[in-house]
């Protein structure tokens, strides 16, 4: 991975070989009520230094997608049933549990949604950080670990790191905890960082700060970042490319500007239109009329058709293939080439 990888070259497919390549990933949840197809055939690739945003409503399967990448789907209901997750040229799904543990934290890391909940309340921050460092480097002595912990905290701009190490989670603010979680995730400079709703639990003012921090880390280490969010403000601020997820599948994917300016899937457009225009940072998805389909009994045709104002007969009968709009921009909609859509 190169540190001088140009940032924000949005229109280009990454020139280097992708660090992460996901092909036709399927993760199902087996429940007594039936099988929930939480992730149902998702493919994308990610080059180092690149940031991909995955946006969707609650229940679209985006969190399950994130957990599938690190193979931490909830046991025993969640199972990855198909596809490949190629990380540095290896299929993560073929690894043994032991090998997978080596990969976690070292090659791929994840930041969880809620910083209030993601630190263990009964261990000191230093203890938890040291653990993240020691796990992949068993022969480090305590002094070295301490130094590395301090460095890790410095890298996420935590003031007075020495003192912070002795603190317990309840003695810190949410923003501070989120930074520490970030430091843990970045302790081994992984090639891929998955951030699941990294800012929803934070104050609006701290959100921006934290996003800048992520960008900053990326510039220094060249880490590829996947940001999972329902917030287009976050996408606008951090991402190069964006994928829109609906009912377990990507429905549109492309460079951020193209998606924002020329959305080609009615769902994307509805999402964009439903957010307040005034302040990008505080946007939260307004609901679109109707409910997402149950992931158990999915329709044969386009999954959005039932809520779509532009649906035609074909939408109900046949699932749309990808239509390429530009080299990097594609949408899975039968009418993606008819823009602007005629009114229903």
Partner 1 sequence: MINAVRGLLTLFAVSILVFSLARLTGDPIDVLAPVDISREDEAALRERWGLNGSIWEQYVSFVGNASQGDFGPSFKYPTETAASVIAERLPASISLGIVATVLTLVIGVPLGILSAVKRGSWLDRIAKGLALFGQSVPEFWLAIMLIWFVAVRWNVVPTSGISGWQSYILPSIVISVFGIAALLRLFRSAMLETLGSEYVKLARLKGLSEFKVVWKHALKPASIAPLTFFGGIAVRMLTGATVVEIVFAWPGVGYLAYEAANARDFPVVQALALFTAAVIIIMNLLIDITYAYVDPRVRLGQKAIA
Partner 2 sequence: MSVRNQPARFESDTDEALELNFDIQGHPVRRPWWKVWSKRNNRVPWVSIFVVLFVLVLPALLADVITTHDPLRGVLADRLTPPFWMEGGTTTYPLGTDKQGRDILTRLIYGARISLTVSTITILIGAVVGSTLGLLAGYFGGWVDRFVSWLIDTFLSLPHVLLALVIVAAIGPSFVTIVAIIAVTIWASFARQVRGETLSVRETEYVARAHVAGTTSWRILLRHVLPNVANTLIVLATLQVGVVILEESSLSFIGAGIPRPNPSWGVMVADGRDQILISWWISFFPGLCILLVVLSLNLLGDWLRDFLDPKMRQRGRS
* Residues engaged in binding partner 1 (CB under 8 A): 70, 72, 76, 97, 101-106, 109-110, 112-114, 117-124, 131-132, 135-136, 168, 170-171, 181, 184-185
Based on the shown chain and the rule CB under 8 A, indicate whether residue 38 belongs to the binding site for partner 2. Answer: yes
Distances (CA, A) of 49 to 3, 43, 46, 134, 238: 8, 19, 9, 26, 12
Cβ proximity to partner 1, 226 vs 333, nearer residue: 226
Specify the pairing of strand 108-111 against strand 323-324.
Answer: unpaired
297 phi-psi bin (left φ>0, alpha ψ -120 to 50, beta other): beta
Residue nearer to partner 1 on the CB measure, 81 or 135: 135
Stretch in the footprint of partner 2 (CB under 8 A) among 61-69, 149-157, 179-187, 206-214: 61-69
Least Å distance, CB 52 to partner 1, is 19
Q: How far is the CB of 113 from partner 2 (least distance, A)?
A: 11
**Which among partner 1, partner 2, none contacts residue 131 (Cβ within 5 to 8 A by kind)?**
partner 1
- DSSP summary character for residue 96: -
Residue 146 contact, options partner 2, partner 1, none, Cβ 5-8 Å cut-off depending on partner type: none
State how far the Cα of 177 lies from the Cα of 256, in Å rounded to an integer: 29
The option from partner 1, partner 2, none interacting with 201 (CB < 5 to 8 A, set by class) reads none
Q: First and final CA of the chain: distance in angstroms?
A: 49
Q: Site map for partner 2, 94-133, x if CB under 8 A?
A: -----------------------x----------------
With a CB cutoff of 8 Å and minimum separation 6, the contacts of 147 are none
Segment contacting partner 2 by CB under 8 A, of 146-154, 233-241, 265-273, 292-300: 292-300
Contact 28, 64 (CB under 8 A): no
Structure tokens at 203: 């104050």
């Amino acid at each position: 991975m190169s540190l001088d990888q140009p940032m924000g070259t949005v229109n280009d497919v990454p020139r280097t070989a992708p660090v992460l390549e996901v092909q036709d990933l399927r993760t199902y949840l087996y429940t007594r009520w039936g099988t929930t197809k939480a992730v149902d055939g998702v493919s994308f690739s990610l080059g180092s230094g690149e940031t991909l945003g995955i946006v969707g409503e609650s229940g679209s399967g985006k969190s399950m997608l994130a957990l599938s990448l690190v193979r931490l789907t909830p046991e025993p209901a969640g199972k990855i049933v198909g596809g490949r997750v190629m990380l540095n040229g290896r299929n993560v799904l073929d690894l043994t549990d032991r090998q997978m543990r080596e990969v976690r934290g070292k090659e791929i890391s994840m930041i969880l949604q809620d910083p209030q909940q993601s630190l263990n309340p009964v261990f000191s921050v230093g203890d938890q950080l040291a653990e993240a460092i020691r796990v992949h480097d068993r022969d480090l002595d305590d002094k070295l670990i301490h130094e590395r912990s301090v460095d890790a905290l410095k890298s996420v701009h935590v003031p007075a790191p020495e003192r912070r190490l002795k603190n317990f989670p309840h003695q810190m603010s949410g923003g501070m905890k989120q930074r520490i979680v970030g430091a843990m995730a970045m302790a081994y400079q992984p090639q891929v960082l998955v951030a699941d709703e990294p800012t929803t639990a934070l104050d609006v003012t701290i959100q921006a700060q934290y996003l800048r921090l992520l960008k900053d880390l990326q510039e220094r280490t060249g880490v590829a970042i996947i940001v999972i969010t329902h917030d287009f403000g976050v996408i606008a601020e951090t991402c190069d490319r964006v994928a829109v997820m609906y009912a377990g599948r990507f429905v549109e994917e492309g460079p951020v500007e193209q998606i924002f300016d020329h959305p080609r899937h009615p769902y994307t457009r509805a999402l964009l239109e439903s957010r307040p225009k005034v302040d990008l940072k505080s946007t939260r998805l307004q609901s679109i009329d109707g409910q997402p389909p149950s992931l158990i009994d999915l329709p044969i045709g386009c999954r959005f058709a039932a809520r779509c104002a532009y649906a035609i007969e074909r939408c109900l009968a046949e699932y749309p293939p990808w239509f390429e709009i530009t080299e990097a921009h594609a949408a899975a909609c039968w009418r993606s080439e008819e823009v602007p859509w005629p009114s229903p």
